[in-house]
Structure 1
Amino acid sequence: MTTDRDGNPPTASSRPRAYATLPARTRGAGVHLMMIVLSLLAIFPLYWMVATSLRAENDIFSTTLWPSAPSLENYAFVLTKMPMLRILLNTMVVAAVTALLQVLTGLLAAYALVRWRMRLAGVVHGLIALSWLVPFQVTMIPNYVLASRLGLLDTLSGLVVPNAVAAFAILLLYHAMRSFPTEILEAARLDGAGHWRILWQIVAPNMRAPIASLGILAFISAWNEYFWPLLLSRKIENSVVQIALQTFMTQEGNLWGPLMAAATLASLPILLIYLVLQRHVIASFMKSGIR
């Protein structure tokens, strides 16, 4: 056994620094390697979607990672055989208006539950929470009958109105608003500010993070909505992108090339939103999971 100059065995503090930090570096490299592998697994389906959209019809089932002769024929087929740009615009309008209305109604309801003195406030909060647990299959028939009587079938308004109020939006903003300092609100009341002014000039500007999180989640949810547009839409030009994707899947077979091209076009807005608002998107999913 080796000893130091005084004849004592070496201690942990006297060992070389590189030796002491070697396990930590090894663990760090292992974690980074695992993250790289998981990232590749997550990105590969998107890559394969784009690669398939560039393949010719006789090259669809090829196992090569990249088409031998990339072509934009599938994109041209999608854009000429159906009003894809109008469908994307319809989906953008429906998702944006739905997200805006959910934020607006969620703010109003959350503020009322937090600030107004009501005996049955707890009961109302409980009923809202219970309505969140009711599946869509329970309410689709009454919603469809009501939309039919109001003349909202095959319209964009019919896709928006049933989703204008969401229990998730109310509960998320309710919990965020409960942590808002009451001293600031009481000071505003003493200065003569009413509830409307307090909500829009004091509360809402200071709740940008939860409002942004709710808006992003509501937009993505409305963009991916499928079942309700399937019930309400009659004409392809009045439908949304999820219904357009279904038209490439028939009993005779699936048009994989045009389907992947349409799916790529449908994914571009969401990917752009994620790239621009990456930090807010991640925060929204984390906060929604914690709540």
Structure 2
Amino acid sequence: MTTETLSLPMSTSGLQSRKKRRQANLAIAGHALMIVMSLFAVFPVYWMLVSSLRAENHIFDTALWPDAASLDNYAYALSAIPIWRMLWNTLVVSAAVTFIQLLTGIAAAYGFARWRFRFDKFVYALIGLTWLVPIQVVMIPNYLLVARMGLLDSLPALILPHFASAFAIMLLTQSMRAFPKEVLEAARMDGAGSWRTLWEVIVPNLRGIIASLAILIFISTWNEYFWPLLLSRSAENTVIQIGIQMFITQEGTSWGPLMAASSLASLPILLIYVVLQRQVIQSFMKSGIR
């Protein structure tokens, strides 16, 4: 009887120790897998930086670091195209589009979430359908509209078609519909009107979602290529993505300066990720599209 009684705790402790070892092994395997996947994700960025430091006649070397690193590609890229002006244009366009889409998205979402009107669901469905339309479908009509307004080869032309975002409206509408009704009723009883309720009650409590949405809009606008390519006529009025494309000509591709310009174009986004790492990850998790 005594032997059986003592064997039970020993067997239980043995099972617990095996369970802990199994969990530790799974954790090690998971971290090893994440390290390998991180290397696959980071290596193209590293190779871009390394290639930007290679000499033109060594651009296709397979060494992980050039024998003689040089900044000549950066000097050539800065002299060939107005990179700083293009980066500034890209920053202005991205910031303006982010601000405008947040403003129109918040206003439209508040209307859909707060009030009921005739055909409101139909209008909301139409807005959702516009999100499914590829930009190539509306690119030519938008181009004709901008051309008739005399805005070709200008920064306002890059901003104008992006005054509203169906994705921003839909995301904010769902967030505002989930907002506690008791808080809104308390604000109404305190004498707050619709405008004050929106900006003093709802928006401060949704700043996490708004910040995540702002990051998504900014990065998407920063990486846009086809619309600026259609409108741009001069290097001074275009964005950095078009500047990078200028190193690809019929005579060949200047890989070194192209990699240097690409590194400079990627630097602001990398800085945003380093500074706002948590918000960037949350933005992708909440959006559910990456």
Q: Would the TM-score normalized by the shorter structure come out above 0.5? A: yes
Q: Show CA shifts across 1:47-88 (max 9, x none).
A: 000000000011101010000000000000111111100100
> What CA distance in whole angstroms lies between the structure 1 residues aligned with 2:5 and 2:217?
70
- Does residue 1:182 correspond to 2:181, yes or no? yes
Aligned to 2:277: 278
Shift of the alpha carbon at 1:194?
Answer: 1.4
The 5-angstrom pairing of residues 194-205 of structure 1 reads 194-205=193-204
Q: Which amino acid aligns with 1:46?
A: V
CA RMSD of aligned residues (A): 1.8
Shift of the alpha carbon at 1:12?
Answer: 3.0
Aligned to 1:87: 86
Change over 3 Å in CA distance of 1:223–1:290 after alignment to 2: closer
Change over 3 Å in CA distance of 1:133–1:14 after alignment to 2: closer
The 5-angstrom pairing of residues 1-291 of structure 1 reads 12-15=11-14, 18-289=17-288
Q: Which amino acid aligns with 1:135?
A: P
- Figure out how many residues of one structure are paired with residues of the other and give that number: 288
Q: Which amino acid aligns with 1:66?
A: W
Task: Name the SS for the 2:164 alignment partner.
Answer: coil
Change over 3 Å in CA distance of 1:121–1:258 after alignment to 2: same
Shift of the alpha carbon at 1:120?
Answer: 1.4
Change over 3 Å in CA distance of 1:197–1:7 after alignment to 2: closer
Task: Name the SS for the 1:62 alignment partner.
Answer: coil
Shift of the alpha carbon at 1:150?
Answer: 1.0
Unaligned runs of 5+ in 2: none
> What CA distance in whole angstroms lies between the structure 1 residues aligned with 2:62 and 2:276?
35
Task: Name the SS for the 1:64 alignment partner.
Answer: coil
Identity %: 57
Unaligned runs of 5+ in 1: none
> What CA distance in whole angstroms lies between the structure 1 residues aligned with 2:275 and 2:62?
33
Change over 3 Å in CA distance of 1:289–1:19 after alignment to 2: closer
**TM-score under structure 2 normalisation?**
0.95
**TM-score under structure 1 normalisation?**
0.94
Runs of 4+ in 1 over 6 A off after TM superposition: 7-10
Task: Name the SS for the 1:192 alignment partner.
Answer: coil
Shift of the alpha carbon at 1:192?
Answer: 2.1
Shift of the alpha carbon at 1:6?
Answer: 5.6
> What CA distance in whole angstroms lies between the structure 1 residues aligned with 2:18 and 2:135?
59
Q: Which amino acid aligns with 1:119?
A: R
> What CA distance in whole angstroms lies between the structure 2 residues aligned with 1:18 and 1:113?
56
Q: Which amino acid aligns with 1:254?
A: T
Q: Which amino acid aligns with 1:277?
A: L
Change over 3 Å in CA distance of 1:13–1:99 after alignment to 2: same
